[in-house]
Structure 1
Amino acid sequence: MSSFRNQFRVAATSTELAQFRQQGWRCYEPVEPKSVEAFGQRWWLRPGLTFTPFANAVRCTAHCAFCSEELQRYDGHQLTAKRLIDDYPAYFTRLRETIWPFRGWPLGLSLSGLEATAEPQWLRELVACLTQLEHEGLIFDEKVLYTNGSGFVASPDLGLALQDFGLSRLELSRCHDDEAVNQQIMRFNRNQPIRHNAVYGHTVRWLHQYLAVKNSCILTQMGIATLPDVERYLTWATGLGVRQVVFRELSRLEGSYLPNVFTDWIEAQRVAIEPLLAAVVPTLESPRPGWQYTGSTFGYYYYNEHYRWQDTEVIFETSSYPALQAANSTGVLQKLILHSDGTLSGDWDPDSQVLSRATLVSA
C-alpha cells in the first residue's frame, strides 16, 4: 500500500508557484480512506496516518512560549499533558492493545507530545515495545522523533537505541543561533545544559554519528524573522554538520482557541511565511543568489516549500489548526494518538474522536 502522508509537486512556472503559495494546504487532494475493524466497530482511516504514543512520563524540560499543549480549543475538553504516565507496565500493555488492530497497516510513527527524551527509561522501554510489535506484524514506514534534545546530554545511549530502532530522522528544535535569544523563546529549565550553545553543538555533532538530524526553527519576531536571519541561522547550523533545516511559521489559529497568554504571544510573535518565500524566490526566473527551488509539499493541514541553499535542504512550512480540525470533522481518522491516560483517539484532545478507553492498572 502506498503512503499518502503528503503530496509533492514541482511548480513548472512562476504562475503555478504563486498559486501553490496562495492556496497552500488547500491544494491537498484527499485520498480514498480505508476501513479497519477495531474495538468493536469499523473506522475510516486516511492512508498515511501517523501513530503518536504521547510522550508524557515527566514534565517537559522546557516551557516554550508557543507550546501547543497550553492551547485549548473552544470545543476542547482536556489536555493530555495534565496526566503523567506513572505506571509503565500498565501503559505498555495498553499500547500493545491499542495498536494491535492496525498491524499490517503502514503507519507513520510520530514520537512527540511533551519531551520524549526527558525520561530515558520510558523512551528505552517504548522503543523495545515497538520493536517487538514490528516483529509481530506492525508496520512503520517512517519513524520521526520531535525533541528539544535535552535527554541526550545525560543519556547519550538513547542515540544508539534509536539508531538500532531504525529512526528515520530526529527533528531537533532550536529557535535561534544565539543561546540567550533561544532561551527567551524555548525557556529551558535552568538545570538543562542543552540550553547552552556549546553543549547543544557537542550533542548535535555526536548525534550525527548515529541519526539523521534535522533542525526545526520556529519563526518569531524576537528570533528568526527575516531572510538575513535565516541565512545566518543556516550558516550556524551547517557549521554543526546539519544538512536539513525547516523554518516553521507558528501554526495559524484563526480564532479557534480560547485566548490566553500563549495565544497572545503567538499572534504577537507571528512571522508570516509569504514574505520570506517571496524574498527567496520572487519568481522561478529570478531566485535569490544561492537558493534553488526544488518543490512543494501539500499536507491535509500544512504547506511546505523545499529549497537547496549551498549543500543544505531548507524547508519553509506553514500550517493551519482550523484546517486540521476540519479534516478531523469529516469522520475519517487523520491520526492515532495514545494519550497518557490510556485513551486512543484521533485527536490531540483525549475526549475527541475516541476509539477506545481504558483505565491503566498494572497486571
Structure 2
Amino acid sequence: MASSERNQFRVAATSAELAHSRQQAWQLYQPAPPVTVPAFGREWQLRPGLTFTPFANAVRCTAHCAFCSEELQRYDGHQLTAKRLIDDYPAYFARLREVLHPFRAWPLGLSLSGLEATAEPQWLRELLSCLTQLEHQGVVFDEKVLYTNGSGFVHSPDLALALQDFGLTRLELSRCHDDEAVNQQIMRFNRNQPMRHNGVYATTVRWLHQHLAIKNSCILTQAGIATLPDVERYLTWAAGLGVGQVVFRELSRLEGSYLPNVFTEWIEQQRVPIEPLLAAVVPTLEAPRLGWQYTGSTLGYYYYNEHYRWQGVDVIFETSSYPALQAANATGVLQKLILHSDGTLSGDWDPDSRVLSRIAFPAPAQP
C-alpha cells in the first residue's frame, strides 16, 4: 500500500481484497503519527498532510444547492461561518498572514472552498496575491485545489490566468447533471447566473481547460445521476468538453449527527448509495463491466474512493462519513485548519470548536 501525507492508495490484487476494502472503507485508513507544532502559545498535534481552508464567503453564494453542507448544523454545533460575510479585506488578509506564520515549512494542502470563491473576483485575486507572498516567506502548499461551481469565470475569465500563475493543482468543477434543467433542480443557480445554462458551461469549461487541470465533480442523487447508464452518459458528455477526470460522490453519510432540516431531509431522500454502483462496474476483478478498468482504491480518514479508467477518462467513485470525520477530530489531533470569516482559526467547520486562535473582527455594518 502506497501512502501520501493525506491518504493511502492500494490496488486490490484479488476480488476478496477489493470486497474487503469496499466493506471497511475509511475504517482501513492507518493514520500517520501526528506532528507537534508550537503555535499561539501552546503546542498542537497535527495530522501530517492536513489542509488549510480560508473559508470563501466574501459574498453570498451564486447557487443554493439542495445538498449544501453549509446549511447543516450538528447537534453539538454553535454557529455557521457561512452566515458571516468577509467585509473588511485589509483586516482579513492581515489575519491570514498572522495565522499561517507559525506553520511555515510545514507542508499544507490548500483547499479553496466554503461558499463560492469565484463569486467575488476582487477577493479571490487578493487572496491569491496574499498566499503567493506567504509562499515567498516560507509557507509551503504542496497541493492547491479550488472547489467551485464556476460561476465567476463567466464574467471574469482572467481568474483562470491568475489561478494558473498561482500554480493551482486542479480545479474541481461542480456539475450534477448533463441536462441543464435537471442540474438546475439540484444546484439551483441564481436566476442571474449564466452558468446555469449548458452552453455557457461548455464554453467556460473549454476556456478553463486551456489553463488548468479540470476535474468534474458530480453529486449522485435520485433526481440526477443515479445509475451506471446515467454515469456513462455523463462521462460521454464531460469527455466531449475535454474533461479528463470525473468524480462521482455519494452524498456524505450523516447518520443522525445533524439537526433535522429541509437539507438533511433532502439528502436522505436523494441519497444514492455507492455500493451498488461499484458492484455494477466491477462485480469481480475477473469480470469487470465492458469498457471499465479498475486502477486502485484510496483510503482517507473519513472517505473512500475507487479509481477507474473508462474510454480514456479517469473516473473516481467516492463515499464519505461525517461521523468518521468528527471521530477523527475528537482524538485531539487537528485534521485540518480553517480560517473563518470572523477571524477565528479552528480545526473544525464550526468556528467555536477546536479553536487555535481567535480575534474579534468588528461586526459588519447593518443595512
TM exceeds 0.5? yes
For normalisation by structure 2, the TM-score amounts to 0.98
Q: Trace 1:20-39 onto structure 2 (pairs within 5 A).
A: 20-39=21-40
Letter in 1 for 2:222: Q
Equivalents in 2 of 1:137, 1:361: separation in Å? 30
Residue equivalent to 1:286: 287
Residue equivalent to 1:356: 357
- What SS does structure 2 have at the residue aligned with 1:216? strand
Q: Trace 1:101-116 onto structure 2 (pairs within 5 A).
A: 101-116=102-117
Task: Point out where structure 2 has 5 or more consecutive residues left out of the alignment.
Answer: none
- The list of structure 1 runs, each at least 4 consecutive aligned residues, that deviate by more than 6 angstroms after superposition, is none
Letter in 2 for 1:118: A
Residue equivalent to 2:47: 46
Equivalents in 2 of 1:100, 1:239: separation in Å? 44
CA offset digits 1:23-77 (Å, max 9, x no partner): 0000100110000000000000000000000000000000000000000000000
Residue equivalent to 1:14: 15
Residue equivalent to 1:256: 257
Letter in 2 for 1:45: L
1:274 aligns with 2:275: yes
Equivalents in 1 of 2:103, 2:362: separation in Å? 23
Residue equivalent to 1:164: 165
Letter in 2 for 1:291: W
- What SS does structure 2 have at the residue aligned with 1:231? helix
Residue equivalent to 2:86: 85
Equivalents in 2 of 1:209, 1:360: separation in Å? 40
Q: Trace 1:84-163 onto structure 2 (pairs within 5 A).
A: 84-163=85-164
Equivalents in 2 of 1:264, 1:115: separation in Å? 23
- What SS does structure 2 have at the residue aligned with 1:78? coil
Letter in 2 for 1:111: L
Residue equivalent to 2:220: 219
Equivalents in 1 of 2:136, 2:217: separation in Å? 32
- What SS does structure 2 have at the residue aligned with 1:75? coil
- What SS does structure 2 have at the residue aligned with 1:234? helix
CA offset digits 1:153-207 (Å, max 9, x no partner): 0000000000000000000000000000000000000000000000000000000
- RMSD value, Cα: 0.9
Offset of residue 3 of structure 1:
4.5
- What SS does structure 1 have at the residue aligned with 2:91? helix
Residue equivalent to 1:330: 331
- What SS does structure 2 have at the residue aligned with 1:225? coil
Equivalents in 2 of 1:297, 1:269: separation in Å? 25
- What SS does structure 1 have at the residue aligned with 2:276? helix
1:202 aligns with 2:203: yes
Q: How many residues align?
A: 361
Offset of residue 353 of structure 1:
0.2
Is the 1:51–1:110 Cα contact (8 Å) retained in structure 2?
yes
Equivalents in 2 of 1:313, 1:23: separation in Å? 24
- What SS does structure 2 have at the residue aligned with 1:349? coil
For normalisation by structure 1, the TM-score amounts to 0.99
- What SS does structure 2 have at the residue aligned with 1:199? helix
Question: What percent of counterpart residues are identical?
Answer: 85
Letter in 2 for 1:345: S
Is the 1:90–1:361 Cα contact (8 Å) retained in structure 2?
no
Is the 1:3–1:106 Cα contact (8 Å) retained in structure 2?
no
Equivalents in 2 of 1:298, 1:251: separation in Å? 15
Equivalents in 1 of 2:83, 2:100: separation in Å? 23
Equivalents in 2 of 1:179, 1:145: separation in Å? 23
Letter in 1 for 2:196: R
Q: Trace 1:294-309 onto structure 2 (pairs within 5 A).
A: 294-309=295-310
Offset of residue 361 of structure 1:
5.7
CA offset digits 1:291-336 (Å, max 9, x no partner): 0000000000000000000111000000000000000000000000
Offset of residue 4 of structure 1:
1.5
Equivalents in 2 of 1:111, 1:50: separation in Å? 10
Letter in 2 for 1:99: L
Equivalents in 2 of 1:160, 1:30: separation in Å? 37
Task: Point out where structure 1 has 5 or more consecutive residues left out of the alignment.
Answer: none
Offset of residue 271 of structure 1:
0.0
CA offset digits 1:240-265 (Å, max 9, x no partner): 00000000000000000000000000
